[in-house]
């Protein structure tokens, strides 16, 4: 079974309403970008779930390696001073 005739895969991002981020909601196959936008509307916003759609070819996404998750993200674990809760201030000014 060859897959060379398969339409390329696209990732779909939908903005639910003005003021919110676009959020990844799934993927679909489409021959080109115009068709991908059209199909994204039909597949992912049948109930007005969106006001804007982005599509991007899946093979164009560069992702971090799940195998490197520890090495990549854990160095932030001991940097508690990056959080406001790290600092104990006098009660009278603690809500600044």
Partner 1 sequence: MYTQAMDTMAREPGDGPKAVRSAEEALLEERFEARIDDGDFIEAKDWMPEHYRKTLVRQISQHAHSEIVGMLPEGNWVTRAPTLKRKAILLAKIQDEGGHGLYLYAAAETLGTSRDQLLDALHTGKAKYSSIFNYPTLNWADMGTIGWLVDGAAIMNQVPICRCSFAPYARAMIRICREESFHQRQGYDALLTMMQHGTEAQRAMVQDSVNRWWWPCLMMFGPPDDQSPNSAQSMRWGIKRVSNDELRQKFVDATVEQAKVLGVTLPDPDLKWNEARQHYDFGAIDWSEFWRVVGGDGPCNQERLGARVKAWEDGAWVREAALAHAAKNTPQQQAA
User: Which residues would be at the binding site for partner 1 (CB under 8 A)?
Assistant: 1-3, 5-7, 9, 26-29, 31-32, 35, 42-43, 46-47, 63, 66-67
Q: What is the closest distance, in whole angstroms, from the C-beta atom of residue 48 to partner 1 in the complex?
A: 13
- CB of 24 or CB of 89, closer to partner 1: 24
User: Which residues touch 4 (CB under 8 Å, ≥6 apart)?
Assistant: none
Q: What is the closest distance, in whole angstroms, from the C-beta atom of residue 18 to partner 1 in the complex?
A: 22
- CB of 66 or CB of 90, closer to partner 1: 66
- CB of 48 or CB of 85, closer to partner 1: 48
CA nearest neighbour of 14 among 42, 47, 46, 55: 55
Tell me the HSE value of 46 on the side-chain side, using a 13 A CA sphere.
4
Q: What is the closest distance, in whole angstroms, from the C-beta atom of residue 44 to partner 1 in the complex?
A: 8
The pair of three-digit structure tokens given for residue 96, joined into one six-digit string: 């600044």
User: Which residues touch 50 (CB under 8 Å, ≥6 apart)?
Assistant: 14, 15, 16, 41, 44
Q: What is the closest distance, in whole angstroms, from the C-beta atom of residue 91 to partner 1 in the complex?
A: 38
């Amino acid at each position: 079974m060859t897959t060379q005739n398969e339409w390329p895969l696209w990732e779909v991002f939908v903005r639910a309403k003005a003021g919110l981020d676009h959020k990844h909601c799934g993927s679909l196959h489409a021959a080109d970008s115009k068709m991908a936008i059209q199909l994204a509307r039909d597949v992912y916003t049948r109930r007005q779930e969106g006001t804007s759609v982005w599509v991007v070819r899946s093979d164009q996404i560069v992702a971090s390696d799940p195998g490197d998750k520890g090495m990549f993200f854990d160095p932030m674990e001991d940097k508690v001073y990056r959080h406001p809760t790290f600092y104990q201030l006098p009660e009278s000014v603690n809500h600044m």
